[in-house]
Amino acid sequence: MMKFLFMMIFMIPLCFMKNMFWLVQMMLFFMMFLFMNLNLNIMCFFNMSYMFYCDIISFGLILLSIWICSLMIMASESLFKLNFYFNFFLFNVIFLLIMLYLTFSVLNLLLFYFFFEASLIPTLLLIIGWGYQPERIQAGMYLLFYTLFGSLPLLMGIVYIFNDLNTMTIYFLKFFNMNMYLLYISMIFAFLVKMPMYFVHLWLPKAHVEAPVSGSMILAGIMLKLGGYGLLRVMIFLQEVNLKLNYIWIIISLVGGLFISMKCFCQVDMKSLIAYSSVAHMSMVIGGIMVMNYWGFIGSYILMISHGLCSSGMFCLANINYERLHSRSLYINSGMMNFMPSMSLWWFLLLSSNMAAPPSLNLLGEISLINSLVSWSNISMILLMMISFFSAGYSLYLYSYIQHGKYFQGLYSFYVGSSREYLLLFLHWFPLNMMILKVDFISIWF
Amino acid sequence: MFFFILTNNNSNKMFFLFILFFSTLISISSNSWFGCWIGLEINLLSFIPLISNSKNLLSVETSLKYFLTQSLASINFLFMILIKFSLLKNFDMNNIISIMMNSSLLMKMGSAPFHFWFPNIVEGLSWMNNFMLMTWQKISPMILLSYYFNKNFLIFMIIMNLIIGSLGGLNQTSLRKLLAFSSINNLGWMIFSIMISENLWLFYFLIYSMMIFMMISLFFLMNMYFMNQLFINNMNFFIKLNLLINFLSLGGLPPFMGFMPKWIIINFLLINKFYFLTFIFMMTSLIIIYYYIRIIYSSFMFNYFKMKWVNLLMKNNMSLINLSSFISISSMILSTFIFM
């Protein structure tokens, strides 16, 4: 485990050398393939050393974060061409990857908090530094303050646990029972803000829209999953309070997911639509984790991984359109099938995965979540039915508005689609639709 | 401080600087309350020539205001000492006399609710004098406070410090006043730490004064006193990064150095079961981070309209900036591996 940390640390001097942009990306792919060859044991923590461990959840999420970070660099070729501080951009990406890797793999709960907060700083730098609109300042403020408002009580909770239990090792926490209401709220509020749950979701549309493509990819791909991972770790020692109070969060997130799905139909901005669809998917994930049965955990984990790949791919597609037309509006991006028919294939593949069509991994996640939520209460059938229906609805709406119809007459000229862009989208779609063939890597936990 | 006094052809101020350091030592190492008072008076006497500068009216007025407030507080302190230990001769901490003693020491430090002189005076001082005022002048009142404090009174003062320090800085544009309000907020953290142990206070104070030194030396070298000056000049990339890291570190965000003292104080707060007070500490530090980020907008945004005709001439060499950048970044690594 430490070998990957050292590989990432020593990639930092590589970022500052001349003409090393693509080498850094190749190194990240290399590290991804090395990481996949770790021994994967399902019932326990494996690869333990002084500070690090790997569990099946952290294994999958670290793989996802390395994959998305390498695809981030592939998607940001325009920064390299226009010479827009790409050295510092590479350093930012590698630093963010180090922080995410450490978040998912340290044994100590306080170190988890430390790296959880530390991953905010490079994200903030990505949004405000490389974004292209004046609203990005407000977006960065919203991101920072919503997350910090939630996570400072988390710090209080962690220090309280340390003073009470004299340990902060995540592995030992399952032997304790700290059933206190205030501790429960302070521990999970940070993750609910990060996920995001419906009432505290306002940072997400702003931050996703104002970020550059790499920022949007990492936000949709991994940063939301930090919340899910934290919830999975922290709920172990709070089980009785969870059983009493979790219905609040399930109801808020499911009804909120319904409202957000309906709001997706009113969006004019492509990225804003994809951001709201992220909130709707994450609302189902929150519902699945909070129900606390096995299908719920499995479904939310699968949906986290598949949503990471799918949303990140959709943001890449939105950026591909933006780089050519310099607009994200649905009024201008219409009739694209006339000009880029191959790209419309990728729009369709990724949007069909978004609406949980077979054979994508989203389908398996949604089916497991529907199973777990309906087993918890029959009435959630109605909400889940509406959320799934509307997600199909807005995915088709987005596809049809962008691809079909008459094109905008003010277009000048652009090239169809470089192989780099096709490779980028293929690398998003391929794991998403092929992992369904061997799901026991991610869905059998014991 | 020596270096800057020497380069400004002001070696006569060296004499007063040495007496300033000596007076603090007198004050904290005396075995009688009289000795403490004497140290405080010599402190005042030697600080006035350092800040008085008869070239403009503002600095004359500033040194006069400083003299008036500090001598008022010293006289109050002497009077309360005499009443308590010579006249009444009891060591009861729960009466008005001990509250008055603590209040006079708080007024010497510039803590709320006696803070009104502090932003006024920092507006009239130069950056290096501000550095002395914000760091060294706090040592002796703090340590004297630790010898005899009333816990309930001080907790109330801590809450007032935190709230005034965070809310007062929201409407300021002058960098000196912003750092003054942030100093008032950090006084809240420091007063709590000195109630726990002097060692803990020393730890917080050293890290705080190192961070303040890095920021003040950066502003001093760039000759910046107001927030609108941050956007006008053409800052080097490393200077921007240094500014960014220092302010985020002062706000207490991980992964920088400034997170460590705050985390340790939260640990002691929760050991002593001050739950609501911890919540106030957290939320006021969010407000502080808000106005720090307003200051560092210019270093976040990589592309904005820069005035090309303003050339940034550094007064001294750049080695100080490079060293402080290195310390700010590398302390992150140290802070994860020393205490875990």
Q: Is the pLDDT of residue A42 over 90?
A: no
Q: What is the mean pLDDT of chain B?
A: 86
- Give which of A421, A369, A307, A296 is closest to A60, Cα–Cα: A307
Domain assignment present for A194: yes
**pLDDT per position as a tens digit, B196-206:** 999 999 999 99
pLDDT at B329: 66
Whether residue A64 contacts residue A305, with contact meaning beta carbons closer than 8 Å, is answered with yes
CB within 8 Å: B297 and A137: yes
| A280: containing domain | 1-14+24-36+51-408+415-442
CA angle, A437 then A443 then A445, to 5°: 140
Reported as a pLDDT band with limits 50, 70 and 90, residue B298 is confident
Domain boundaries, chain B: 1-339
Q: Which residues of A touch B286 (CB under 8 A)?
A: 145, 148-149, 152
Average pLDDT over residues A50-66: 90
Lowest mean pLDDT among A190-194, A375-379, B94-98: B94-98
Average pLDDT over residues B43-58: 87
Reported as a pLDDT band with limits 50, 70 and 90, residue B313 is low
pLDDT at B7: 56
Q: Is the pLDDT of residue B54 over 80?
A: no
Number of domains in chain A: 1
pLDDT at B310: 66
Q: Is the pLDDT of residue B340 over 60?
A: no
DSSP H helices, A40-131, are: 56-75, 77-81, 86-105, 109-118, 120-130
Of B255, B286, B297, the CB nearest to A118: B255
Contacts of B67 (CB under 8 A, 6+ apart): B44, B48
pLDDT at B223: 83
Q: Which residues of B touch A147 (CB under 8 A)?
A: none
pLDDT at B315: 52
**CA nearest A147 in B: which residue?**
B286
Average pLDDT over residues B68-87: 91
pLDDT at B318: 65
Average pLDDT over residues A383-388: 94
Domain assignment present for A233: yes
Which has more pLDDT, B258 or B86? B258
CB proximity B264 to A under 8 Å: no
Domain assignment present for A128: yes
Q: What is the DSSP letter of A419?
A: H
Reported as a pLDDT band with limits 50, 70 and 90, residue B140 is very high
Domain assignment present for A84: yes
Reported as a pLDDT band with limits 50, 70 and 90, residue B334 is low
The number of beta carbons lying within 10 Å of the beta carbon of residue A313 is: 30
CB within 8 Å: B248 and A160: no
Q: Is the pLDDT of residue B6 over 70?
A: no
State the best of A159, A163, A226 to mutate against chain B, taking most chain B CBs within 10 Å: A159
Q: Give the rounded percent of residues in chain A with a pLDDT score beyond 90.
A: 75
pLDDT at A396: 95
Lowest mean pLDDT among A205-214, B29-38, B213-222, B319-328: B319-328
Q: Which residues of A touch B278 (CB under 8 A)?
A: 156
pLDDT at A434: 92
Dist CA B155 CA B218 (whole Å): 34
**pLDDT per position as a tens digit, B153-190:** 999 999 999 999 999 999 999 999 999 999 999 999 99
CB proximity B163 to A under 8 Å: no
pTM of the model: 0.93
pLDDT at A41: 78
Reported as a pLDDT band with limits 50, 70 and 90, residue A444 is confident
Provide ipTM, 2 decimals: 0.90
Dist CA A53 CA A59 (whole Å): 9
Q: Is the pLDDT of residue A322 over 90?
A: yes
Domain assignment present for A389: yes
pLDDT at B337: 61
- Give which of A57, A283, A117, A328 is closest to B253, Cα–Cα: A117
Average pLDDT over residues A81-102: 92
Q: Which residues of B touch A111 (CB under 8 A)?
A: 336, 340
pLDDT at A404: 92
Average pLDDT over residues B41-47: 94
**pLDDT per position as a tens digit, A194-239:** 999 999 999 999 999 999 999 999 999 999 999 999 999 998 888 8
Contacts of A396 (CB under 8 A, 6+ apart): A351, A355
Residue type present at position B259: F
Q: Is the pLDDT of residue A329 over 70?
A: yes
Count Cβ–Cβ pairs < 8 Å, chain A vs chain B: 74
Contacts of A270 (CB under 8 A, 6+ apart): A318, A321, A328, A329, A330, A333, A398, A402
